[in-house]
Amino acid sequence: MRTDITIHPHERVDDLHRDGHLIIQDPKRFCFGVDAVILSGFAKVKKGEKVLDLGTGTGIIPILLAAKTEGAHFTGLEIQPESAEMANRSVLLNELEERVSIREGDIKEAVQIFGGSTFDVVTSNPPYMNEGGGLVNPVAAKAIARHEILCSLEDVVAAAAKTLKPLGRFYMIHRPHRLTDIMVLLRQYKLEPKRIRFVQPYADKEPTMVLVEAARGGKPMVKVDAPLVIYKAPNEYTEEIFEIYYGKGQA
C-alpha cells in the first residue's frame, strides 16, 4: 500500500474489506453504494479475461473485481475528469496499476477509444433515472451519476455491444421499472439476456434493483435466479450480502 498518494482535505479513504484495498471518495461528489458491491458479486470474470466498466465513477467495480477474480485486466471509463483522477489515485494507492487502469472519456465514444470486440466482459452501474424520473440532484457530479444527463441507457447498451467480443458477457444493475426498456435495447443491440436477478431490501418487500446478464450473440434463453435479499433485520445483512461484501460468512 503506497503512502505517497495525495488525499485532499474534502476526501475520505474507505476500507473495502477485500485484500486490504482502500478507496478514495469525495462525499460532496458521489460515493458508491450497495448496488456497485452487488454488481461486483453478480459479474462473473474468468481467469485471464479483460473487463471494461462503463461509467466507473470512483473505480469501485474494477477495484473490487480485481480483488475478487483472476481477470487479467480491468479498465474503468469515466467522463468526469475529477472522478477519473480520483479513481486513478485509488488504483495507485492500492498498487493495482498492473491490473487496473482508469480512462477519462465518453461512453458514447467507447469503441473509438478501445476498439470494437475488445473485451470479454463489460459491466455498468449506469444512471437510473431517465428524463422526468425524479428530482435532479443539485450537485452536478451526483446528478450525472444518478440521471441520464450525459448518457442514456441506450448509450450504455450500445457501447457494451460494440466493445464486447462475440459471446462476451455484459453485466448491469438497474431499476425494475426500466426492465422492459432494458430487454428491448439488449435485443436491439444483439445482446441476448441470459440471467436476471431481482434485489429486495427485505424478503417480504418488492424489488428495488435488478441485475441482468446478457451475452453478445448468445442463443435465446433466460434464467431468472432467486431474489437477492439485502437485510434479514434492520441494519443486519443476510448471509449472502455479507459474503458479497466481506468474502466470508458472519461470525
What is the full DSSP assignment across 224-237? EPPPEE-EEETTEE
pLDDT mean for each 10 residues of the chain (251 residues) = 90 93 91 94 97 96 96 97 96 97 97 98 83 46 47 96 98 96 98 98 98 97 98 96 80 40
Q: Rg of the chain over CA atoms, in angstroms?
A: 17
Q: What is the pLDDT of residue 217?
A: 97
Q: Is 1 exposed, middle or buried (0-12, 13-18, 19+ CB in 10 A)?
A: exposed
Q: Which residue has the cell 495507485?
A: 92
Q: What is the pLDDT of residue 137?
A: 45
Q: What is the pLDDT of residue 235?
A: 92
Q: What is the pLDDT of residue 144?
A: 39
Query: For the chain, how many helices (H) and strands (E)?
Result: 8, 13
DSSP string, 189-218: TTEEEEEEEEEESSTTS--SEEEEEEEETP
